[in-house]
Amino acid sequence: MQTIINSGPLILRGLLVTLEVSALVLFIGTIIGIGGGLALLYGAKPLRWLVRAYVDTLRGIPLLVLIFALFYGMPVLGLQVSALTAAVIALSIFCGAHVSEIVRGGAMSISSGQTDAANALGLSFGQRLRYVILPQALRRVLPPWVNTAAEMVKASSLVSLVSVVDLMMSIQQIAGRTRETLLLYGVAALLYFLVNFSISTLGRRLEKRFAYS
């Protein structure tokens, strides 16, 4: 216990980095996913092919390979970025590919009668998306999105492999110094669990709210 108390500041800094990375990845990935999902359904054929290639390719590549490819590959292309930036980009585009499929499935599940009624009312495409399709799709998209969010929080631990001092790297550094590996990795598991439990709890509340609405 004394080890945890003495190492508290380092663990806290690592946890904050993990939360920062996770929040950035989910925000950017969700924006990409919304655009990608709508492009898969309503985009021009060349755009649909391009987005489909992006989604299928990114979903088929191990995330660790993607992180290493960007971390080591971007400097070769003359793009000098920090390890944190490279990791966030890799996680974000990976997340975006998964969210694209979630959004596509949610929007496609809306009955065609809904869009036909919106057309009959003279709503434009943007208005149909805003007032008819997306509000109904949100209820169906939310559960798989929450699951993706939890997976990305856990996946954020991979950034430690490119020397980003997140929660996992902090725990590794402390464990290497104190040799109390079981205790420290138990603390790491508990913290990851608490973060994901909070996300799941918030997700359930949002599901109830939108289901009621």
CATH number for the domain whose boundaries are 2-212: 1.10.3720.10
Instruction: Tell me the CA distances in angstroms from 38 to 2, 4, 43, one per residue in order.
Output: 52, 47, 7
- pLDDT at 56 (0 to 100): 94
Is the predicted pLDDT of residue 213 greater than 60, yes or no?
Answer: no
Cβ atoms of residues 41 and 104 within 8 Å: yes
CA distance 150 to 62: 17
- pLDDT at 211 (0 to 100): 66
Give Rg (Cα) of the chain. Answer: 20
- pLDDT at 153 (0 to 100): 95
Mean pLDDT (whole number) for 63-88: 90
Q: Which of the pair, 89 or 134, is modelled with greater confidence?
A: 89
Instruction: Specify the range with the lowest mean pLDDT, choosing from 49-58, 122-131, 201-210.
Output: 122-131
Instruction: Tell me the CA distances in angstroms from 163 to 16, 167, 172, one per residue in order.
Output: 16, 12, 11
Mean pLDDT (whole number) for 47-68: 94
Q: Which of the pair, 30 or 206, is modelled with greater confidence?
A: 30
- pLDDT at 176 (0 to 100): 86
104-125 residue pLDDT tens: 988 888 777 777 676 777 777 7
**What is the average pLDDT score of the chain?**
88
Q: Which of the pair, 178 or 50, is modelled with greater confidence?
A: 50
DSSP-H helix ranges across 121-180 = 125-128, 134-155, 167-178
Residue-range domain boundaries for the chain: 2-212
Is the predicted pLDDT of residue 201 greater than 80, yes or no?
Answer: yes
Instruction: Specify the range with the lowest mean pLDDT, choosing from 37-46, 50-59, 120-129, 140-149.
Output: 120-129
- DSSP code per residue over 59-81: HHS-HHHHHHHHHHHHHHTT---
- pLDDT at 169 (0 to 100): 92
Cβ atoms of residues 114 and 132 within 8 Å: yes
